[in-house]
Structure 1
Amino acid sequence: METDLTFFLIGIPAVILAGISKGGFGSGASFVAAPLMALILPPEQALGILMPLLLLIDGVTLKPYWKRWDARQTRLLLIGAGPGVLLGVLFWQIANQDMLRLLIGVIAIGYVAIQLLQRWYPPRAARAAPAWLGMLAGAGSAFTSFVSHAGGPVAAVYLLSQDLSKTGYQATTVLVFGLVNVAKTIAYGFLGAITLQSFLAGLWLVPGALFGAWLGVVAHRAIPERAFFIVTYALLLAAGSKLIADSLN
């Protein structure tokens, strides 16, 4: 695996954006790293390189939000996450590179659509939502997280309707996706997505990931979400469109 100039020009901004998102904006936009990296690498390699980095970001961002999560929502999402990860493993075994490119591209475009719809039609508070809905959201989040590191949007649709505080929402996503990423890392290892080469390549991006995580925690209170997400949406639309075109060609 060659770590050339293109690798660094794409990889460093990608992991910084992932760190900012996971550290301060609910994890959703951390998905931008996967389609960006998949533009220059086979999707399986891109996902394998990013997995340990995302796990590292989870570890360093957990402490600022320790015990500030919503216990009920965390429990429901994690119960559903188990079957979601297993479904991701099954899909991985039948998917080829073009299928992964297509799925990542479609999820990227869908992510932007979901976020825009939420801004135009905000979810109504529903604290008494049935337990099965939280578990279903957990399963959907874990599956999309497994195949494209894109579990944030599914979880966000559910959690934003549960009337959580800003910090409660952030802490819940940090804990849930941190534990999901532990399970994904183990599975990726068995599936051959994480190799010695991918791990060594990812080490070059560790400073960017840590810087992004630190900046995200700071930005949680200091930086308007609007500016951050405008940039993220533009990158996702461009990368998603390119991946779909590449997979169909």
Structure 2
Amino acid sequence: MPEFTALEWLLLALAASAVGLSKSGMPAFGPVPTALFASVLPAKASTGAVLGLLLVGDLIAVRMYHAHADWRILRRLVPSVVVGVLLGVVVLWFADDQAVRRIIGAILVFLVALSLALMLRRRRDRAETRPVPPALAHVFGPLGGFTTMIANAAGPVMSLYFVASRLPVQAVLGTAAWFFLVVNAFKVPFSVGLGLMTPESLLLNLVLVPALIVGALVGWRLARRISPAWFERIVLVLTLAAGVYLLLS
């Protein structure tokens, strides 16, 4: 187990809680764990450390929303997502920590822009019922696969696709839950082979699981009581700040 300062332990615990929040009905928190882990651990190692926690969060999300998935959309996405994951594996193989840190920072800034586009689309197209063209799966799939392999932060990408597909809220949560469980499980052999997921990272995950569970319970309650719009705005500001920090540091 690596030695961390009290502040670093606090940041890791907050990151684990954010995983629970994002998986229990508040997906806007999705990029936060990536930013916090990358600020404490070496950039490449942080991706493997986050992955273990995400799998625990995925199991919780599937337990909550397993009955609401749209399997037609999932089958359409899988082949193109695999392409994006494999591209991310190649980048992680050749890139050093500094390059990965910059890539993660750029992805976070991009995801903020994408999230803002999602918010604007929701406001503009509330009355629109036309779904997105099926061919867009070939755009969102590779993009989602690449961002999840490099930064474990494909939430805004895939949320944009699921919402644009005009799925009901419960269907968005259920489809996303199964999607990320399958994709994150698919990433495990590559993360192990790249030396990103290690016995040390799994031990760290075990220590942080209680914080994740607390975050999931809090998220489950807050998602039903507090307007998600305010949370989205706060998280977007924090994510943008983290992305800029990683780009400039």
User: Given the two structures, how large is their TM-score scaled by the length of structure 1?
Assistant: 0.91
Post-superposition offset of 1:53: 0.7
Say whether residues 1:3 and 2:1 are aligned partners. Answer: no
Equivalent in the alignment of 1:158: 161
RMSD of aligned alpha carbons: 1.8
CA distance in 1 between counterparts of 2:223 and 2:173 reads 9
Moved more, 28-37 or 57-66: 28-37
C-alpha contact 1:28 1:156 (8 A) present in aligned 2: no
Equivalent in the alignment of 2:78: 78
Residues 1:71 and 1:127: Cα distance change in structure 2 (over 3 Å): farther
Equivalent in the alignment of 1:193: 196
* Correspondence list, 1:201-212, <5 A: 201-212=204-215
CA distance in 2 between counterparts of 1:244 and 1:81 reads 26
Residues 1:173 and 1:128: Cα distance change in structure 2 (over 3 Å): same
CA distance in 1 between counterparts of 2:171 and 2:92 reads 33
Equivalent in the alignment of 1:174: 177
Cα deviation, 1:187-243, whole Å, max 9, x if unaligned, reads 101110011122212222111111212333333333321232222112212211111
Question: Percent identity over the alignment?
Answer: 30
CA distance in 2 between counterparts of 1:126 and 1:109 reads 30
Equivalent in the alignment of 2:224: 221
1:149 to 149, 152, 175: 152
Stretches of structure 2 that go unaligned for 5 or more consecutive residues are: none
| Number of residue pairs the alignment of both structures matches | 245
Equivalent in the alignment of 1:139: 142
C-alpha contact 2:31 2:153 (8 A) present in aligned 1: yes
C-alpha contact 1:24 1:218 (8 A) present in aligned 2: no
Runs (4+) of structure 1 exceeding 4 A deviation are 123-128
Stretches of structure 1 that go unaligned for 5 or more consecutive residues are: none
Say whether residues 1:107 and 2:107 are aligned partners. Answer: yes
CA distance in 1 between counterparts of 2:169 and 2:121 reads 18
Equivalent in the alignment of 2:40: 40
User: Given the two structures, how large is their TM-score scaled by the length of structure 2?
Assistant: 0.91
Post-superposition offset of 1:61: 1.6
Q: Could you tell me which amino acid in structure 2 is paired with residue 85 of structure 1?
A: V
C-alpha contact 1:18 1:29 (8 A) present in aligned 2: yes
Give the SS at the match of 2:40: coil
Post-superposition offset of 1:28: 5.0
Cα deviation, 1:139-162, whole Å, max 9, x if unaligned, reads 211110000011112212222211
Equivalent in the alignment of 1:53: 53
Moved more, 96-105 or 217-226: 217-226
Post-superposition offset of 1:7: 2.4
C-alpha contact 1:45 1:193 (8 A) present in aligned 2: yes
CA distance in 2 between counterparts of 1:235 and 1:66 reads 30
Post-superposition offset of 1:128: 5.0
Moved more, 223-232 or 129-138: 129-138
Residues 1:169 and 1:65: Cα distance change in structure 2 (over 3 Å): same
